[in-house]
Chain A
């Protein structure tokens, strides 16, 4: 029997005509759980911004006539030992959690990216010193490093953000450095250099923008981790000082009334989980939409 040639009808190599932005939004919002995450984050952002308008009561004003009230229509999540409304305190806690998340990750991403850029672009001794220093910082569990730093700087909102920022920094430096090392090999970098572009210009105008995508994914994913860590520090009583309402602090305060009013500890934990879950899912979605090959790396 003679070999027959396969007919080539119908199979034409036409690249799919999809606008890059539309492809991104389709993949990004394609999964319902990602959409859920986006909606939840927006709701929490609004809650944080308009906390005084949304909260039914003043979170700091004691109401001793109503202490340790069970959930009711007046106090949806009950009240604590000073009669303060739990729901209002959780709503105000949103502010701290999101603020610490955004600022600590901001500190970490900025410093980490600068260090990674320098280490990856110049290589040599700068690479060795910076990256080994990052390795050393990575040897500490995040919460322990944050503990060490807050023990030196003292507690308080600002110091917690700095401590978490330093603790998270090595991750960004590593990703950035890896990105720069691979981008550096591109022809356009060589072209730029041969045209006499300065190192600073090469780094900021050409290498930095191209290395951003995985950093953006990491920023989203780290928000959850940071919020969890802040809650842990506040729970230990080392983070943000009392009487500021923080989710971790609320869980700790409610612990003493666990038998009579378990909702005091239960509710803030749910708030933490919902927010962290949303950031994780959005991070996942962002990663798949930006570059599926990042799976396993981030």
Chain B
């Protein structure tokens, strides 16, 4: 097991390094002068050639790519992501303000999606072919096709504008006004959760159905165990292993979804920042957000893989 963890850890580190190279090169290989990474186009026109030359030198843009990469990487490791073009503010600090919001919504959505998805999937598998199974399966099949931003807009129309139950959008810190915060995040969390919830339901249902055919489940039935014990103690344990792999992928889709959902509900999180930076060509911010998100996803997938190896020993020797 230790060897497996070590191997996976090294692999994750290598992938992380590749990610940083991809993001770094992506911005440097842009056609045009990299000075545009530091200045808005208006500033470039105002400044004299001498000023630009000095700036170029100060930022090391006249040095080789390898050295530039090294400088950037060591900066990132120290938490220095450069300065935002538009905000004239440290990118690290900018992200630090927004990460908690995205985490808040994301974690809640993640929990909701998997709890509800697993319960729904198990119910489907147990009541296979009954009307409840059919209804939930249809719902799950629709759930993986819904554009989240559209769902958000429709929910705003129904619950906020028409029924007037919930605030339209925005985000208030839960420490300032917990009740308002809860009412504000209900819709975004549901939007983020819907896709992973539907996909967890589908996966749980099919892997539970598979497990329920196994010999050891028949043995458990013939021993006279209660249905609940068989399902929870025996079937679920093996049936959930494939769901775990999916959970790692869902993290990626929740973060991807938050790009859209935060835009719909006007929540100033990492997703909104990413969209903003792309629309305004604020490259340093785009770079910072992408690196942080990719690193988070790699780390979570490392944890998923390790727990996978722990749950299913066969994986360790692959």
Binding site for B on A (CB under 8 A): 132-133, 135-137, 139-145, 147-152, 224, 228, 231-232, 235-238, 248, 251, 255, 258-259, 262, 265-266, 268-269, 272-273, 276-277, 280-281, 295-296
In the bound complex, do residue A148 and residue B18 qualify as a contact, i.e. CB atoms below 8 Å apart?
A: no
Q: Which residues of the other chain, A, contact B274 by a CB distance below 8 angstroms?
A: 144, 147
Q: Which residues of the other chain, A, contact B252 by a CB distance below 8 angstroms?
A: 139-142
Q: Cβ of B244 < 8 Å from any Cβ of A?
A: no
In the bound complex, do residue B147 and residue A228 qualify as a contact, i.e. CB atoms below 8 Å apart?
A: yes
Task: Give which listed residue, B11, B145, B259, contacts A277 with CB less than 8 A.
Answer: B145
CB B41 to nearest CB in A, in angstroms, measures 14
Q: Which listed segment binds A: B67-75, B86-94, B154-162? A: B154-162
Q: Cβ of B281 < 8 Å from any Cβ of A?
A: yes
Q: Which residues of the other chain, A, contact B149 by a CB distance below 8 angstroms?
A: 231-232, 235, 248, 251
In the bound complex, do residue B293 and residue A141 qualify as a contact, i.e. CB atoms below 8 Å apart?
A: yes
Q: Which residues of the other chain, A, contact B189 by a CB distance below 8 angstroms?
A: none
Q: Cβ of B200 < 8 Å from any Cβ of A?
A: no
Q: Which listed segment binds A: B22-30, B173-181, B219-227? A: B22-30
Report if A236-B275 is in contact (Cβ < 8 Å); known contacts: A132-B15, A132-B18, A144-B290: yes
How far is A144 from B281 in the complex, measured between Cα atoms in Å? 15
By beta carbon, the residue of chain A nearest B158 is A262
Q: Which residues of the other chain, A, contact B255 by a CB distance below 8 angstroms?
A: 141, 144
In the bound complex, do residue A136 and residue B161 qualify as a contact, i.e. CB atoms below 8 Å apart?
A: no
Report if A143-B147 is in contact (Cβ < 8 Å); known contacts: A151-B286, A238-B278, A258-B161: no
By beta carbon, the residue of chain B nearest A143 is B256
How far is A296 from B245 in the complex, measured between Cα atoms in Å? 11
In the bound complex, do residue A141 and residue B260 qualify as a contact, i.e. CB atoms below 8 Å apart?
A: no
How far is A152 from B27 in the complex, measured between Cα atoms in Å? 7
Query: Other than the known A132-B15, A273-B147, what 19 A-B pairs have Cβ atoms closer than 8 Å?
Result: A135-B11, A136-B15, A139-B295, A139-B298, A141-B253, A141-B293, A143-B259, A151-B278, A152-B26, A231-B147, A231-B149, A232-B148, A232-B149, A238-B279, A251-B149, A265-B157, A269-B154, A272-B145, A273-B146
By beta carbon, the residue of chain A nearest B258 is A141
How far is A142 from B11 in the complex, measured between Cα atoms in Å? 21
Report if A147-B275 is in contact (Cβ < 8 Å); known contacts: A139-B298, A152-B30: yes
Q: Which residues of the other chain, A, contact B26 by a CB distance below 8 angstroms?
A: 148-149, 152
